[in-house]
Amino acid sequence: MNLENITIAPGSSVDLAGLDPASRCGLGSKEESERILQQDIADLAALQEIFAARKERALLIVLQGMDAAGKDGIIKHVMSGINPQGVDVHGFRKPSGEELGHDFLWRESNVLPPFGRIGIFNRSYYEEVLVVRVNREVRSAENPQEALETWRERYEDINAFERHLVRNGTIVLKLFLHLSKEEQRRRLLARLENAEKLWKFSDADLEGHQHWKAYQRAYTDMLAATSTTWAPWHILPADRKWVARAMAARCIISILRRLPAEYPQASEERLQKSAELARVLAAEGDGDERPSA
């Protein structure tokens, strides 16, 4: 799995139509992918423990993609081995009245991960240059080029916001799940035909499918405008869920492996205090050799 092939170089153009959403990314089979994923999940758990112990950086994972692209599945499967105390997941849908009363970055700013923690945004402030843009285009039928001009300032704001985060210790990992229209149709239909999956369906899902071209145009512009040296976008082929999950895990691991891999060293004062506490506990022994649970 070569991550360079899925990373958008800053300043480059994006052609989603030319990227295969059913690509295997070098994975031979689903079984092979599952084996790799399970090993990566184990490695990720170990890396996250050190990451949490050092408390030197924060990691923000931004997941974007059309409805039914597999964002929930990535969170469920890829993060399955991580201590839940070290991860915060936030989903962003239609903003509330309170959120609409603030700037478009406000609600995400309130739940950014602190040092030592991993934060996952299932959708994010990028909805403000995707859903909002498409809805306005549909209502006003404005020229796509004119629409692009109206969003350039928000692209600039997002880039500046992410640069601020990175400069202050937060790593920003952005994953776009590239799904085909036909695969989305099949997944949405499966939800509608399964009573146990109906809770996952909303009218907005169908609206997004009906305005597919407008969304692809909005995503294309957004990806090209906001893939930066400090926070590049990674495009994950999403027609095969097992490929997207394996690639997502590898992206996260590649980030954590660049960081120090040792637990923090205790200070001399801490070592002395620990030795003293150990002596106190040892002195309390009463000779009872029962196991301590």
3-state SS class at 43: helix
Give the pLDDT of residue 2. 67
204 compared with 207, residue with greater pLDDT: 207
Of 56-65, 200-209, 242-251, which range is least confident?
200-209
Q: What is the pLDDT of residue 94?
A: 85
Residue 146 has pLDDT above 60, yes or no: no
Whether the per-residue pLDDT at 203 is higher than 80: the answer is: no
Give one DSSP letter per residue of 39-55, joined into a string: HHHHHHHHHHHHHHHH-
Q: Tell me which residue has tokens 């843009």.
A: 133
With contact defined as beta carbons under 8 Å apart, do 182 and 175 qualify? no
Query: In the numeric block, which tokens belong to residue 46?
Result: 């170990």
For a pLDDT cut of 70, what percent of the chain falls above it? 89
Unique residue bearing structure tokens 């995503």? 219
**E-strand spans in the chain?**
58-65, 87-91, 118-122, 170-178, 233-237
Question: Could you tell me if residue 55 is left (phi over 0), alpha (psi between -120 and 50 degrees) or otherwise beta?
Answer: left
pLDDT digits (tens, 9 = 90+) for 272-292: 899 999 999 898 876 555 655
In terms of DSSP H, where are the helices of 126-267? Answer: 131-140, 144-167, 181-193, 203-210, 212-226, 241-256
Tokens for 221? 């512009």
How do residues 156-200 score in pLDDT, each as one tens digit?
Answer: 999 999 999 999 999 999 999 999 999 999 999 988 888 777 776
pLDDT of residue 125: 97
Query: Tell me, what's the pLDDT at 266?
Result: 84
Please say if the pLDDT value at position 139 is more than 90: no
**CA-wise closest residue to 74 among 260, 234, 256, 257:** 234
Q: Domains in the chain and their CATH numbers?
A: 3-283 (3.40.50.300)
* φ/ψ of residue 90, rounded to 5: -130, 130
What residues are paired with 64 via a beta bridge? 176
Angstrom distance (rounded) from CA 13 to CA 273: 58
Residue 142 has pLDDT above 60, yes or no: no
The model's pTM is: 0.90
Closest of 132, 136, 111, 134 to residue 122, by C-alpha:
111
CA distance from start to end of the chain: 43
**Stronger pLDDT, 43 or 141, i.e. the higher one:** 43
pLDDT given at position 98: 93
- Give the span between the Cα atoms of 269 and 271, in whole angstroms: 5
Looking at per-residue confidence, does 261 or 21 come out higher? 21
